[in-house]
A and B are shown apart, each in its own frame.
Chain A
């Protein structure tokens, strides 16, 4: 049974359909990535899973139960728009937020103390959040999300606004949580993070789930249709290539997606005529490339993809 089951969900705001007939399943012990440009409907979907919004139609179940105040307790949620009460002491704040998730005061205290210890943050208990640095308050935010020990963790754009150290810490926590059999869903518009961490993905574009499945299988299904080229010399020859899409280009590097079955050897020949080749490699497409070829270049708000 899927831990999170989203079935034919539709949510409209006025005339715009923010989420249009979306279905996917998140399974136990896996990391699920929700990808897509800003405004694709990721946050709306996440809010519905968290029972902050209700779908217009369709069904969302968490561990077999329809999304409700009871299922909210099973989830630790860190929204993209996140923050804390500035004038409240760290301990009071964490106690409040954890108790709202249904823990008793004494249980909450124990859990919070454990996590504060783990983050070397026990000295901050009596401090107001406004006295903490940004990195410190981000740690408090993690603790607020995970202290009630839920089965499911949902992070909406977790890495945006995090400093590099906390970004790394969060990655470690996510991996550790999975090892402990927890289920994680996170959304991002940064494809490379997904490549590193996710087991399963769902690609969103303009309110629709355009591609869903296991990351490895999806990539394999696209075949080795991409060339990783490293060279030295004038890169102007790249502009002469036809039926290709060059995604990632710098002075001595290019990622070339070959379209319409063009012969890759021809590309190599052309390259050798104009530059010294250091590396020529056939690879599976990057997630970014997969996304572009799935939704089609015309349907893409390109500026929002990195």
Chain B
């Protein structure tokens, strides 16, 4: 193999792609879209309070309505003097959003109260009404039973759990939830990256065939050199794009908390004092500091993406060589799609229980490892030995798949006409 020729092919693949408008636009717009999304989320968090609903309470117990207004002053309306029929018509005419008739039976027998409502408000609204009712009914029953203050306090305690991670460097505040989400997101990006950049490569191979330039190239370069050049050229473009995004993300995560604080400051100055206080308590800008990700995780991310991409892109290149247009490639996609989709589906399990046997297996199995190992690394402490083993298996798999794919590739690029069947692909492999 001539490395000089591979380098020439690689350089062309890389430069034509990186200089293309599509690449520049996608590279620039994706983080902007991300910023916009985060901005919208922050903005929504700050400004959007649920529109207050009006619930009529027809209280036959005489005690529950008062307790409800203690919890929420504005939501509940005393409609005890109205008949059920007129309440129904009020709901239909949208004067009130719903009503609940509370009888002694809910207190004495624990009967489930019924809310008749207009259907708007969503799950959040219903569960908030439910929890209000649950609280007032429990309190009323406790007080009727003459339970002591101590016992009542017991009922009101909600025990949490603070997790602190102990490492060689000492104790640190644990943020497993954030880490899991980061892990899942990184796994997801590898999944998307393999698919998207793999398709870019496949289109490049098909393009050379349909442009009929491939035979000109084949008279100067060995097919395997051409294939390696294209693989690494597209890989270079992918790593460039991911690299820019990662750099951007690191910058953003460092700047996010102060910027959000600034936005909030500006928001609150324009708000009445009470609302501002409520906002301040609902959103803490310093929580954005959790966005910061350990840089070593990004290195693992790139490493596993690179090897994972190489494994799959060898298959993508072979598929591209076997067909003459993208539609025809569909029937050959399952060797790519099945393992990678499995990796994606398992990824939720891996995120939830990263140390389970399944997670260990899928993070070592070379076809799912690129996705699942990164998620594990971000979520839990993975023994270095497993990481190395996983990488070694992937590299071996790459050479195995490359060996097969190159055989299909070298025959396929010069074949025109009918699209081949799997049987014919088998023949190509034997032929060369």
Interface residues of A (CB under 8 A from B): 13-14, 47, 50-53, 69, 72-73, 75, 77-79, 81-88, 92, 96-97, 99-102, 144-145
| A77 lies within 8 A of B16 (CB) | no
Distance (Å) between the CB of B305 and the closest chain A CB? 26
| B2 lies within 8 A of A83 (CB) | no
A81 to B324, CA, bound (A): 14
A101 to B9, CA, bound (A): 12
A53 to B223, CA, bound (A): 10
What are 11 of the A-B contact pairs (CB < 8 Å)? A14-B427, A78-B216, A79-B212, A79-B215, A81-B215, A84-B211, A85-B208, A85-B211, A87-B16, A96-B8, A100-B8
Given A69-B2, A72-B219, A92-B16, 8 other A-B contacts at CB below 8 A?
Answer: A50-B219, A78-B216, A79-B215, A82-B212, A84-B213, A87-B16, A88-B16, A100-B220
Is B419 on the interface with A (CB-CB < 8 A)?
A: no
A72 to B225, CA, bound (A): 14
Is B82 on the interface with A (CB-CB < 8 A)?
A: no
A85 neighbours in B (Cβ, 8 Å): 16, 207-208, 211, 213
Residue in contact with A99 in the complex, picked from B8, B208, B212, B215, CB distance below 8 Å: B8
| B216 lies within 8 A of A75 (CB) | no
Is B218 on the interface with A (CB-CB < 8 A)?
A: yes
CB 8 Å contact bits of B196-219 with A (1 = contact, 0 = none): 000000000001100111011111
Q: Which of B211, B212, B216, B427 has the most CB of A within 10 A?
A: B216
Nearest 3 pairs of A and B residues by beta carbon: A83-B212, A100-B220, A79-B215
Q: Which of B208, B211, B220, B416 has the most CB of A within 10 A?
A: B220
| B216 lies within 8 A of A77 (CB) | yes
Q: Summarize B's interface: helix, strand, loop or mixed.
A: helix
A218 to B359, CA, bound (A): 76
| A82 lies within 8 A of B431 (CB) | no
Task: Decide yes or no: A97 and B220 within 8 Å by CB, A14-B427, A88-B16 being known contacts.
Answer: yes
CB 8 Å contact bits of B302-329 with A (1 = contact, 0 = none): 0000000000000000000000000000
* Smallest Cβ-Cβ distance to A145: which chain B residue: B216
Distance (Å) between the CB of A51 and the closest chain B CB? 8
A15 to B427, CA, bound (A): 11
Q: Which of A75, A88, A96, A101 has the most CB of B within 10 A?
A: A96
A75 neighbours in B (Cβ, 8 Å): 219
| A144 lies within 8 A of B219 (CB) | no
Distance (Å) between the CB of A209 and the closest chain B CB? 22
Task: Decide yes or no: A86 and B220 within 8 Å by CB, A13-B431, A47-B414, A99-B8 being known contacts.
Answer: no
A82 to B216, CA, bound (A): 7
* Smallest Cβ-Cβ distance to A83: which chain B residue: B212
Residues 195-254 (chain B) with a chain A CB within 8 angstroms: 207-208, 211-213, 215-222
B216 neighbours in A (Cβ, 8 Å): 77-79, 82-83, 97, 144-145
| B8 lies within 8 A of A82 (CB) | no
* Smallest Cβ-Cβ distance to A141: which chain B residue: B216
A96 to B12, CA, bound (A): 8
Distance (Å) between the CB of A138 and the closest chain B CB? 12
| B218 lies within 8 A of A52 (CB) | yes
Is B5 on the interface with A (CB-CB < 8 A)?
A: yes
B16 neighbours in A (Cβ, 8 Å): 85, 87-88, 92
Residues 1-36 (chain B) with a chain A CB within 8 angstroms: 2, 5, 8-9, 12, 16, 20
